[in-house]
C-alpha cells in the first residue's frame, strides 16, 4: 500500500503554517544563464504542494541576487547560502531545511516538464522503491555542444548507463537527480561530503540496500551539457577522479563498464611509449580503438541534430572516455595518499 498519496490540487502559494508535500532541492553555483528557466519549470508544476530549496554555492555571476529577487516574489522559494563549493554539502544543507515528506532533486542547469514532480512522487508513494529517477537527456545550444549532447545520449558512448537512453522501466543501480522520501535520506545521513564527485552514485549504493531503485523513462529531465569538447573532457576527468573513492566504499558496485576507460588509458599510454621506438607497432596498437571510435561516431552522427558539428562527435567520444580514464587513475592516487596519511 502507498505510504501517502500526493495532493491533486493546482499549485498556489503556501498559506501560513501550511506544510509542503514535496521539497524540490537545487544546488546552484554560477547558473545565471539557466536558473530562471530551471525555476520556472519547477514552480509551474501542478499537483502536490511544493517548496523549492535552492542552495547558492558561492556564486559570483549574479545568480545570488537573482535567487533572492525571485524568493521575494514567491514564498515557495527558499534560498540558502553555502560558500563552500561542495555539491554534497549543499544537498545536505537543503535536506536539513526541507519540510516536505518527499524530496526531489533537480539540477540548476536543467528543465523538468509539466507533471514531472507529480509523477515522481506518485511512483514513490507506491511504497516499493527507495528512489525513483528517469532519463537525463542532454541538450545544448552551440553546434559543438549539440555534438557533445549527441554523444552523451547514445548507448554506444555511455554503455550500461540506462538513464542516458533507456525507454523501458526497470530496477537500476543508479538514478540521476532522484526522488526520495525525506525521512529515508535523513536516516542514511544524506550525501557523503567526503565524496566530492560521484556523490550521487555513492548515495544510491547505500539507498538501494534498503529497497530497489526505479528507472522510469516517463520521467525526463532536459540537462544542459557542456558546450565544448574541452569542457566535456574536464567534466569527465572530474567524474572519473571520484570513482575510486566510491569503489573503496562499495566494491560490489563496480561494473565492467567502469573499468573500460582506465584500461583504455593504460593501453593508449603503452602504445605511445612503444611508438617512440617502433612507430608501426604503436599505430597498429591504436588502430582497433580508432576503428571503433570511427564506427560509433558514424552511428551517432545519424541521430545528431542537423545543426550539430558532426566533426566534433569523434573528438567528444574520445574526450569523454579518455578524460574519465585519466581521472580514474588520479583518483586511485588520491585514495592511496589518503590511506597513507591515515596510517
**Could you tell me if residue 252 is inside a domain?**
yes
* 21 vs 166, more confident: 21
Q: Which of 110, 127, 144 is the last residue of a domain?
A: 127
Closest CA to 175 of 214, 211, 224, 129: 214
Domain ends where: 72, 100, 127? 127
Tally of domains within the chain: 2
pLDDT at 181: 96
> Considering the chain, what percentage of its residues have pLDDT values greater than 70?
95
Residue 326 neighbours by CB under 8 Å, 6+ apart: 237, 240, 265
Mean pLDDT of 60-87: 94
Q: Where is the domain boundary, 127, 156, 176?
A: 127
Helices marked H in 153-209 — which ranges?
155-158, 182-187, 199-207
CB 24 within 8 A of CB 50: yes
Any idea what the CATH number is for the domain that residue 97 is in? 3.90.550.10
Average pLDDT value for residue range 311-336: 95
Is 140 inside a domain boundary? no
pLDDT at 214: 96
- pLDDT band of residue 7 (cuts 50, 70, 90) is very low
Residue 339, pLDDT above cutoff 80: yes
The residue written with cell numbers 526531489 in the block is 104
- Work out the percent of the chain whose per-residue pLDDT is above 90: 76
Residue 61 forms part of a structural domain: yes
Q: Residue 51: phi, psi to the nearest 5? A: -120, 155
Asked, for residue 89, whether it belongs to a domain, the answer is yes
* Residue range 191-239, pLDDT digits in tens: 999 888 889 999 999 999 999 999 999 999 999 999 999 999 999 999 9
230 located within any domain: no
pTM of the model: 0.86
pLDDT band at 17 (very low <50, low <70, confident <90, very high): low
CA distances from 144 to 198, 202, 243, 307, 308 (A): 25, 31, 27, 9, 6
Kindly indicate the confidence band of residue 16, based on its pLDDT and cuts at 50, 70 and 90. low
The pLDDT assigned to 176 comes to: 86
Query: Does the structure show a pLDDT above 80 at 171?
Result: yes
3-state secondary structure of 102: strand
**Contact partners, residue 295, CB within 8 Å, separation at least 6:** none
- 103: its cell numbers: 524530496
- What is the pairing mode between strands 131-139 and 213-224? parallel
Average pLDDT, the chain: 90
Is residue 223 included in any domain, yes or no?
Answer: no
293 pLDDT exceeds 60? yes
Look at residue 97 and tell me if it is in a domain.
Answer: yes
DSSP structure class, residue 163? G
- Predicted pLDDT of residue 15: 53
- Mean pLDDT for 300-322 is 94
- Asked whether the beta carbons of 36 and 42 are under 8 A apart, the reply is no
Q: Residue 18 has what DSSP assignment? A: P
Q: Which domain holds residue 85?
A: 1-127
For residue 27, tell me if it sits in a domain: yes
Amino acid at each position: 500500500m502507498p505510504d501517502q498519496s500526493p495532493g491533486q490540487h493546482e499549485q498556489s502559494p503556501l498559506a501560513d503554517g501550511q506544510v509542503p508535500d514535496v521539497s524540490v532541492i537545487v544546488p546552484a553555483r554560477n547558473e545565471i544563464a539557466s536558473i530562471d528557466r530551471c525555476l520556472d519549470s519547477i514552480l509551474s508544476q501542478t499537483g502536490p504542494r511544493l517548496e523549492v530549496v535552492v542552495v547558492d554555492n558561492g556564486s559570483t555571476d549574479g545568480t545570488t541576487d537573482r535567487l533572492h529577487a525571485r524568493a521575494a516574489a514567491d514564498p515557495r522559494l527558499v534560498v540558502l547560502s553555502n560558500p563552500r563549493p561542495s555539491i554534497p554539502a549543499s544537498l545536505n544543507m537543503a535536506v536539513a531545511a526541507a519540510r516536505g515528506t518527499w524530496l526531489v532533486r533537480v539540477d540548476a542547469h536543467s528543465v523538468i516538464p509539466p507533471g514531472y514532480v507529480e509523477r515522481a512522487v506518485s511512483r514513490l508513494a507506491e511504497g516499493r522503491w527507495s528512489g525513483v529517477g528517469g532519463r537525463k537527456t542532454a541538450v545544448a545550444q552551440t553546434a559543438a555542444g549539440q555534438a557533445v549532447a549527441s554523444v552523451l545520449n547514445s548507448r554506444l558512448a555511455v554503455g550500461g548507463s540506462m538513464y542516458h537512453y533507456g525507454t523501458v522501466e526497470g530496477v537500476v543501480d543508479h538514478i540521476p537527480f532522484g526522488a526520495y522520501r525525506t525521512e529515508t535520506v535523513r536516516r542514511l545521513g544524506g550525501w557523503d561530503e567526503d565524496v566530492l564527485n560521484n556523490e550521487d552514485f555513492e548515495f544510491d549504493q547505500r539507498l538501494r540496500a534498503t529497497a530497489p531503485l526505479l528507472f522510469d523513462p516517463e520521467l525526463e529531465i532536459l540537462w544542459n551539457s557542456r558546450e565544448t569538447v574541452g569542457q566535456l573532457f574536464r567534466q569527465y576527468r572530474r567524474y572519473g577522479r571520484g570513482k575510486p573513492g566510491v569503489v573503496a566504499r562499495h566494491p560490489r558496485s563496480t561494473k565492467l563498464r567502469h573499468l573500460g576507460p582506465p584500461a583504455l588509458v593504460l593501453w593508449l599510454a603503452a602504445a605511445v611509449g612503444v611508438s617512440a621506438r617502433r612507430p608501426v607497432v604503436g599505430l597498429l596498437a591504436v588502430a582497433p580503438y580508432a576503428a571503433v571510435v570511427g564506427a560509433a561516431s558514424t552511428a551517432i552522427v545519424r541521430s545528431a541534430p542537423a545543426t550539430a558539428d558532426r566533426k566534433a562527435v569523434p573528438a567528444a567520444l574520445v574526450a569523454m572516455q579518455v578524460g574519465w580514464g585519466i581521472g580514474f587513475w588520479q583518483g586511485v592516487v588520491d585514495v592511496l595518499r589518503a590511506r597513507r596519511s591515515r596510517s
